[in-house]
Amino acid sequence: MCCLRHRHLSGDVVSWLDRAKENNGGRYSETHVENVKVLTKLFPLYGLQLLYRVCITQIPSGYYIQTMNSNLHLGDLLLPIGAMNVISILPLLLLAPLMEFVTTFFLSIEKTPLAPARVITLGHTCAAVSLLVAGFLELHRKAYPLVEQTLSGKVLHVSSMPCFQLAPQYILLGVAEALVTPACSLISFQLIPSHIRGISLHFLTLSYGGGCLLGAFIIQLVYFCSGETNSVRDTGPSSEPENTGRPPRA
């Protein structure tokens, strides 16, 4: 506003970024400002990656806890908890070359391959469905009887449901990762001008880290609220009879 009062900037602009142009009294060329406008149009994509990364971070947190409370025995062999993560890596190893082959085939016959935006939407859908499947399987897991299982020298009472029944949720997250990450990198690399392409990729990486923090915050918030609820229940009216000093009735 100080620059406007002293007429260093023009007030007749369409976007607030246009005030930085040289012909409006700013310091930057029109090309630089227009390139930044292209970058700002990708901010909704970076915002969606926050929610997507919350789903992906469930593998080393919620999914591992769910697996730890399931039956890890494969005959006489006790599987490590991280063995289930191999199931989520397999879609990455299989889909990456397959998608490259399909894209090359479409280009060879002069047809347009599937748009990156649709690929990202499909990947986000797989991540959301994976969490839904995990929720249903958790309800199903609790219906099994408990068995003893030794982990890290401690005997735990876990569900007798085999851990391999949790494979669908791991597979869906692996498919989501195989679809979303290459498509987002492609958009950030192709649509952004070369001299700010590195900044775009940094924003994409920042959205990944922000998604991890957001997932941890949501888990902590739910844990805090559930703890408050339990404390309220514990301080409720006692079911034991009051000691009134009178003898109990027959």
Q: For 60-75, what is each residue's pLDDT tens digit?
A: 888 888 988 898 888 7
- pLDDT score of 6: 47
CA nearest to 166, candidates 79, 66, 237, 74: 66
Residues of the chain scoring pLDDT < 50: 1, 4-9, 231-250
The C-alpha atoms of residue 70 and residue 138 are separated, in whole angstroms, by 10
Strand pairing class (77-78; 146-151) = unpaired
Q: Are 51 and 211 in contact (CB under 8 A)?
A: yes
The C-alpha atoms of residue 228 and residue 222 are separated, in whole angstroms, by 10
- pLDDT score of 155: 86
Q: State how far the alpha carbon of 202 is from the alpha carbons of 46, 175, 183, 212, 244, in Å.
A: 11, 24, 16, 16, 70
- pLDDT score of 127: 92
* Contact partners, residue 101, CB within 8 Å, separation at least 6: none
- pLDDT score of 230: 54
Q: State how far the alpha carbon of 116 is from the alpha carbons of 95, 181, 189, 218, in Å.
A: 15, 10, 12, 29
* Contact partners, residue 84, CB within 8 Å, separation at least 6: 63, 64, 67, 163, 166, 167, 170
**pTM of the full predicted structure?**
0.74
Mapping DSSP to helix (H, G, I), strand (E, B) and coil, where does residue 4 land? helix
- pLDDT score of 2: 55
Domain residue ranges in the chain: 61-195
CA nearest to 66, candidates 53, 84, 79: 84
- pLDDT score of 173: 92
Q: Report the run of H or E that residue 154 belongs to, with start and end.
A: strand 154-159
DSSP 62: I
Q: Are 36 and 17 in contact (CB under 8 A)?
A: yes
